[in-house]
Amino acid sequence: MPRTYLTRSAPEVGETERRRWMFRHPLVIRIAHWVNALTLLVLLMSGLQIFNAHPALYWGKVSTFDTPLMSMASSEDDPPKGVTTVLGHAFDTTGFLGSSTGADGQPADRGFPSWLTLPSEQDLTGGRSWHFFFAWAFVLNGLAYLLYGVLSGQLRFRLIPSRDQIRHFGASIWEHLTLRFPQGNEAKRYNVIQKLTYVAVILVLLPVQVLAGLAMSPAMDAAAPFLLTMFGGRQSARTVHFIVANLLVLFVVVHVALVLLSGFWNNMRGMLTGWFVIERQVEPAPVTDRAGEAA
Amino acid sequence: MIRLPSRRSILLGATGALGATVLGGCDRLGEMGWFKRTLATGEDANQFVQRLLLTERTLAPEYAEADISPFFKPNGTEDPPDKAYKALVKRKFAGFQLEVGGLVEKPFKISLADLRKLPARTQITRHDCVEGWSCIGKWTGVPLLELLQRAVLKPNARYIVFHCADTMDQGEPADAEATGGAEAPVANPNPNMTKKAAGADATQDTGDRSDEAPAEEAGTAEPVRFYESIDLVDAYHPQTILAYEMNGKTLPVAHGAPLRLRLERNLGYKQAKYVMRIEMVESFADIGEGKGGYWEDQGYAWYAGI
């Protein structure tokens, strides 16, 4: 496959033009992105359903029922209170964690509320069916993405910071914090923080999540005992699986927020059609213009 | 003056409505037969791949004495209410005989005392509940292989079915579901598999109350007893034993006395307690609801390696 599309542009125009089109996301990456988004959403919600079957986390090989790292429960009060205990500290989480209103309007004794779980009612076997099917979809999609990414050079181009980017790491952090997004040529590639975040998510968090999931399987623990060594036991693996799921949620929240802040329609068009508009590099000028440019 | 809703409240409302619609749609989708079958291919794939990765000899991890859980959580039935079972408990299983039959050349019955004379295996293993928790325990019992070799399987024997003493459902008419509508059955508030056997009361006192509420008389239809099935791959596995001891003591009632299956590369729900009879079959389609086990009939996958 030719590698020219990395910088493939619509009719070549000078930098003096105000807007410039760039073909940013090849089809495989666009498909992989949306399949990934869907599978992660289903995996999260069906995962919370599975978690609800025993809403407590432990560290090590086994469950120490009296001393969980974290647990959710409902109290004996009427109406019941939801109590979430983290490292021995109890928090009142009524209505959200531990006890929440079910579909029938009655307070239900459940870890996560019904609007966050799939299926919405308490249904461990349904949750497992969803989870495993979408886990396979997620893994196959991820492998296709990685294979394509490596062979096409996209992975390297997108994810590995170049030397100049590493040199200007500090400046890049400052730009991020002040929500000033790169323009002109700089906008053709991901900035260094983007790249490192994607590396962390794609090459660390997601693979760890799969391995931690596998480490919970008694058959996998027989076939690949290193999984237990890696996480320090099945219950630790379950806790890691939960924490990584939370980190992925955090990533998605920040990701979506930045998509909104850095030009929602341009970003969406980019990930749907591949075409992305790069604004001309502007001189440090009055900031008042920025509000109007979305129109 | 009419107050127009703010853009934010419209957006929030729309997002909420969309979310609720999608969620409701997913719930309905999950109840449709074709979609259920599609989702189930994920679990079929688990079985296919895990069976490729595991050889017949691949052992589940074994642990040290120091790792044994001080409290091992009993689950499922903890005290079968059945009259016949309670009578066995009263006599400390003196009259108990395990039945081995079905598609075998030499069916036989064997007492607990004679089972203990057969070669035994002791293993300290981790018990993983489908709910998510784990406990480590030490199990001693007779390898299933020993019994199968004595019985001599017929060539068409493909599955081993474990018939258990504990009644799970009384088989009463399902009147709760017939009302429907607003009185739709409330979701089981207890999501996990802790299922008090029907008619069981809270007391752990097995001896004195055996004359009360005999299970067999409560229901009109045939009561459903626990059963479970495994295939020959798992049956011949060296760690597959019928345990009569737990943590060096006689297996307690809460953990399945007199005999419980240990199937170490599988989740807890496959590990049948209160085993009374084992039967070799070609197919389990005509047993129970045909899915191969009590929990399978409730929707759980027959293969429980993950």
Taking chain B (306 residues) in runs of 10, the rounded mean pLDDT of each run is 70 82 87 92 97 94 98 95 95 96 98 97 98 98 98 97 91 39 34 45 37 42 90 97 98 97 98 98 96 96 97
Residue B167 and residue B129 in one domain? yes
Q: Which helix (H) or strand (E) holds B241?
A: strand B241-246
Give per-residue pLDDT as tens, A82-98: 999 999 999 999 999 99
Residue B121 and residue B42 in one domain? no
Q: What is the CATH number of the domain that holds B130?
A: 3.90.420.10
DSSP sequence for A115-163: GGSSSSSS-HHHHHHHHHHHHHHHHHHHHHHHHHHHHHSHHHHHHSPPH
Residue B40 and residue B171 in one domain? no
- The shortest CB-CB distance from A65 to any of B71, B130, B305 is to B71
| pLDDT on residue B1 | 53
Minimal-distance CA residue of chain B relative to A239:
B132
Pairing of strands A70-74, A82-86: antiparallel
* Residue A57 backbone dihedrals phi, psi, to 5 degrees: -125, 150
Beta-carbon pairs below 8 A across chains A and B: 159
B241 touches B142 (CB < 8 A):
yes
Q: At A7, which amino acid appears?
A: T
Exposed/middle/buried for residue B183 (C-beta within 10 Å: 0-12, 13-18, 19+): exposed
Q: Is A126 in contact with B43 (Cβ distance < 8 A)?
A: no
Distances (CA, A) of B48 to A219, B53, B95, B271: 12, 9, 42, 21
Number of independent structural domains in chain B: 2
- Does B121 fall in a domain? yes
Residue B106 and residue B224 in one domain? yes
Residue B90 and residue B128 in one domain? yes
B140 touches B244 (CB < 8 A):
yes
ipTM of this predicted structure: 0.86
- Does B207 fall in a domain? no
Residue B41 and residue B99 in one domain? no
* Residue A257 backbone dihedrals phi, psi, to 5 degrees: -60, -45
- The shortest CB-CB distance from A219 to any of B186, B190, B305 is to B305
State how far residue B86 is from chain A, nearest Cα, in angstroms: 30
- Does B1 fall in a domain? no
Please tell me the distance from the alpha carbon of residue A39 to that of residue A34, in angstroms, as a whole number: 9
- Does B198 fall in a domain? no
Residue B126 and residue B21 in one domain? no
Domain region containing B120: 58-192+215-297
- The shortest CB-CB distance from A221 to any of B19, B60, B191 is to B60
- The shortest CB-CB distance from A61 to any of B39, B73, B136 is to B136
| pLDDT on residue B169 | 80
Contacts of B301 in chain A (CB under 8 A): 125, 128
Contacts of B40 in chain A (CB under 8 A): 129, 133
Query: How far is CA A289 from its chain centroid?
Result: 32
Q: Is B305 in contact with A234 (Cβ distance < 8 A)?
A: no
Give me the residues of chain A with pLDDT under 70, please: 1-17, 281-295
State how far residue A135 is from chain B, nearest Cα, in angstroms: 8
| pLDDT on residue B196 | 42
| pLDDT on residue A186 | 83
| pLDDT on residue A175 | 85
| pLDDT on residue A102 | 81
Contacts of A127 in chain B (CB under 8 A): none
- Does B208 fall in a domain? no
Domain end point (choices B53, B72, B91): B53
Residue B125 and residue B64 in one domain? yes
pTM: 0.86
Residue B104 and residue B179 in one domain? yes
Q: Is B53 in contact with A224 (Cβ distance < 8 A)?
A: yes
Residue B15 and residue B156 in one domain? no
A18 touches B93 (CB < 8 A):
no
- Does B81 fall in a domain? yes
Reported as half-sphere exposure (CB side, CA atoms, 13 A), residue A41 has a value of 12
Q: Is B50 in contact with A217 (Cβ distance < 8 A)?
A: yes
Q: Is B189 in contact with A108 (Cβ distance < 8 A)?
A: yes
Minimal-distance CA residue of chain B relative to A217:
B306
Please tell me the distance from the alpha carbon of residue A256 to that of residue A268, in angstroms, as a whole number: 11
Residue B140 and residue B277 in one domain? yes
Nearest of B292, B250, B269 to residue B128 by alpha carbon: B269
Residue B162 and residue B69 in one domain? yes
Q: Is B132 in contact with A228 (Cβ distance < 8 A)?
A: no
Give per-residue pLDDT as tens, B113-163: 999 999 999 999 999 999 999 999 999 999 999 999 999 999 999 999 999
- Does B2 fall in a domain? no
- Does B197 fall in a domain? no
Q: At A20, which amino acid appears?
A: R
Interface test with B, best of A61, A99, A129 (most B CBs within 10 A): A129
